[in-house]
Each structure stands twice: as C-alpha cells, then as structure tokens.
C-alpha cells in the first residue's frame, strides 16, 4: 500500500480529510517568557499514514523532537533535519481530537548553538541522529541563539479534520 501524499502544511488524503499540524516554540530566560511562536509545519510524505495509525492506537514506539541549525526551507520530501544538533524524548498526550508531543531543552543543553530548525521523529526513532521517520519539520525564524539561562519548550500538535 502506498502512503498518501502530504503537501505543504499537511493537506492530504482526499477532499474531505485533512491532517493539520502546528508547532509552538516557547523560550524562557531565567523563567521569564521572552518568546512564544506558533506556526504551521510541513508534514512529510511519510507522516499521514503513521499519524493515522498512532491516532488509531498503533504503537509507533517513542517519539522524539529534534533541533538543528539548518536553514533550508522544509519540504514534504524531507527525511532528516539539515544538521541535527540534538533530540529529546517527547511526552505524548491526547488533546481533544488532536495529539500533542512536548519536550524541553534545559538551560545547560546546547549552550552556544543556534537553533534554526526542528522536527518530529517517530516509528523506529531513538536517541541518535538518523533514527526513525521524520514526520514533520519547521524552521525556527528568527533562530534562537541558545544561552545557559534559556530553556526552550517545543510543543507539536496534529489532528485530522473532516471537511
């Protein structure tokens, strides 16, 4: 069975069903909120069928959220971040008709790095770069110059909408 095509911003399947995703990036410095971005993301061509399986209860393993310093525009054909710097286990929870993945980059992690891209890896993902299937990717614009006083929370949400 071939997987359905996911176009820009996750529109897919047929004229009646759409898979939508969005990502929130929350930056705190010394516990003070300094940035809160909410943006659409690009779902990869591998994502729709796997998202549907996850919502139906199939076990896709542990999801991870990764960040990198790549600046190339996301595309549905992406299979990896441009230059992955690190990844973290994502907490998973149901949020109404959507699914939410959340992770936190602690103040002492990735100090001195520039965070310019983020992605969700699942279905065979592990702690190491290059493992699992890239499900979604977004650019962080403007990039975040990570300091030792800064925490970065990333919240990814997706769901299906019947039109």
As a whole number of angstroms, the distance between CA 158 and CA 105 comes to 21
As a whole number of angstroms, the distance between CA 29 and CA 5 comes to 40
What is the pTM (predicted TM-score) of this model? 0.85
**Tens-digit pLDDT profile for residues 121-161:** 998 899 999 899 999 999 999 999 999 999 999 999 887 76
User: Cis link prior to 142 (omega < 30° from 0)?
Assistant: yes
């Amino acid at each position: 069975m071939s997987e359905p095509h996911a176009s820009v911003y996750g529109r897919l399947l047929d004229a009646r069903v759409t898979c939508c995703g969005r990502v929130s990036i929350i930056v705190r410095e010394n516990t003070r909120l300094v940035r809160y971005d909410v943006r659409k993301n690009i779902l990869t061509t591998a994502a729709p069928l796997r998202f549907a399986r996850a919502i139906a209860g199939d076990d896709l393993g542990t999801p991870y959220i990764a960040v990198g310093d790549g600046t190339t525009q996301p595309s549905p054909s992406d299979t990896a971040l441009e230059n992955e710097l690190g990844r973290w286990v994502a907490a998973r929870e149901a949020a109404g008709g959507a699914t939410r993945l959340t992770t936190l980059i602690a103040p002492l992690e990735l100090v001195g790095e520039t965070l310019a891209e983020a992605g969700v890896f699942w279905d065979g993902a592990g702690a190491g770069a290059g493992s699992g299937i890239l499900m979604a990717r977004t650019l962080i614009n403007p990039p975040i110059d990570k300091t030792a006083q800064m925490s970065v929370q990333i919240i990814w949400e997706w769901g299906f909408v019947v039109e």
